Amino acid sequence: MALDANLDHIVFMKVGRHAGETFEQIIERKRREYDAAGCIFWGYGGGTMHPITRVQPFARMRVEHGERISIVMQEILSRHPDTEVFAQEYSRDGVHWEPIPQGVRVRGSRYALVLNEIQHGELDINLGEYQVGTGPSEGKDAETYIRGRVDKGCLTRVKVIENASPEDLTKVHFAAMLEEPYAVVLR
Amino acid sequence: MTLDLRQALNAISDVVTNRPLPLREFDQIYMKLGDMVVHAEFVARRFDKGRLVFVGDGDAVGLSVAHLVNERVLEYGPREITVLDFDERMVNSVTRFAEESGFAESAKAVLYNVVDPIPEGTAETFDGFHINPPWGQHNNGESVVVFLERAAALTKVGGSGVVVIADDATRAWTNNVLARTQKAALELGLVLEQMIPSLHSYHLDDAPELRSCAMVFRKIKDSGLVSGRLSAERLEDFYGRSQALRIQYVREVATIERGRASDRTYRFEELVNSGC
């Protein structure tokens, strides 16, 4: 089934095993969370997509213009270490903190994207069509940016490349929409 | 003078170990160690025997300079540094380090936010200033100008100061901010004396190749600008897009684990049948 996602503005993320769970286990758990809480907190870390300084401004600006942001996930092999540490509270601004919603569990992550239901399907995206949409590298080609230690980014499509060769395409199997407040800090 | 690189790196390592971890909410991003050595030596040489004020100093360049001088790694340097910072963790780390190292008289730190007028009695009392402010990507350099205004107000006519901001010819926003900064400097009675392009690199995951320059300005006249509280519109996009300046101070939360690993981050697993 083809994934139905708005691809003009995306959060691209490489995903895999995390904190002792396989990717399939994480997806299954997150689906149960959506049923229970009506939203999903998708945990992540690293220094490139801070919820307050990067993701929220990127998302808010597009949403104010009537657009939506998709998160698209590329599955990779990962050796992320096990952990049994779960976040207890979240904050949208780093000042005011609230309990993690009933039914949501975020494991071993400092930050979380706030998503609606995760869809499974197939989609090819060409990172050559995208540029970085926020931060000091705003405007940089996504293909050059998503490399090495940088495995995720807020990206904006700036062109459409017709007849791209298969090796230029990235296979995506899961997608969701970001929901307000888009991303949060955890503790 | 020849710089003993091992001694210099060890001295800066003392400072870095003492420094609080950066807060990405304010884009506190630390300069890489080798560049810290180069920059601290440069600052020490430029401000030999002077009184130097740092308006914000997350990198702890001020403490690095003072420590290099105190450890006699450098034979020159400012006779006194004062750090003004809104992060109490930074302020306390400077005070503690200087006291423990025996140079509390020549290194001071005061809690201060640039949103406020400069502290009473400090106008035009310093020989030099140093700023490495938010780089103003989304407010056309306004955050740089704010720090520059405060720094210029603290500095005597005839004194000079270092401005560290982004410098990358391939990024249009850095060119715009450099231009805005130089224009604002002229209006503040400052003229450009020296610029070292692309001098420093940072632990910046999403732009590891982004560099900053060191611009040295000389204060040739008093601008007459009154150091008042900043208006609300100048606080918009201060730290980035939609990132207004809204925090007065970062307060330090006391912990008994200062200087060592938190016991919440590890646990001991004893030997089995060790025979002890």
Chain segment B194-214, per-residue pLDDT in tens: 999 999 999 998 899 999 999
Q: Is the pLDDT reported for residue B247 higher than 60?
A: yes
Looking at chain B, which residue has its C-alpha nearest residue A46?
A: B205
Helix intervals (H) in chain B: 5-18, 33-46, 61-70, 88-101, 142-154, 172-187
Rounded CA gap, B182 and B6, in Å?
A: 36
In the three-class reduction of DSSP (H, G, I as helix; E, B as strand; rest coil), residue A122 is classed as strand
Distances (CA, A) of B265 to A186, B41, B259, B261: 17, 36, 14, 7
Q: Which of B201, B206, B242 to mutate to test the interface with A (most CBs of A within 10 A)?
A: B206
Confidence at residue A17, expressed as pLDDT on a 0 to 100 scale: 72
Please write the tens of the pLDDT for every residue from A37-61.
999 999 998 889 999 999 999 999 8
Specify which residues B110 forms β-bridges with.
B84
Rounded CA gap, B53 and B178, in Å?
A: 22
Please write the tens of the pLDDT for every residue from A120-177.
888 889 999 999 999 999 999 999 999 888 899 999 999 999 888 988 898 888 889 9
Neighbours of A140 (CB within 10 A): 20
Rounded CA gap, B57 and B77, in Å?
A: 17
The position carrying tokens 């697993």 is B269
More confident residue, A22 or A187: A187
Average pLDDT of span A97-117? 91
Residues of chain A above pLDDT 70, percent = 93
B25, B172, B173 member nearest A52 (Cβ) = B25
Q: Is the pLDDT reported for residue B129 higher than 60?
A: yes
Rounded CA gap, A156 and A9, in Å?
A: 5
Q: Is the pLDDT reported for residue B153 higher than 90?
A: yes
Rounded CA gap, B34 and B44, in Å?
A: 16
Average pLDDT of span B63-91? 97
Q: Report CB contact under 8 Å: A95, B247.
A: yes
Q: Report CB contact under 8 Å: B206, A138.
A: no
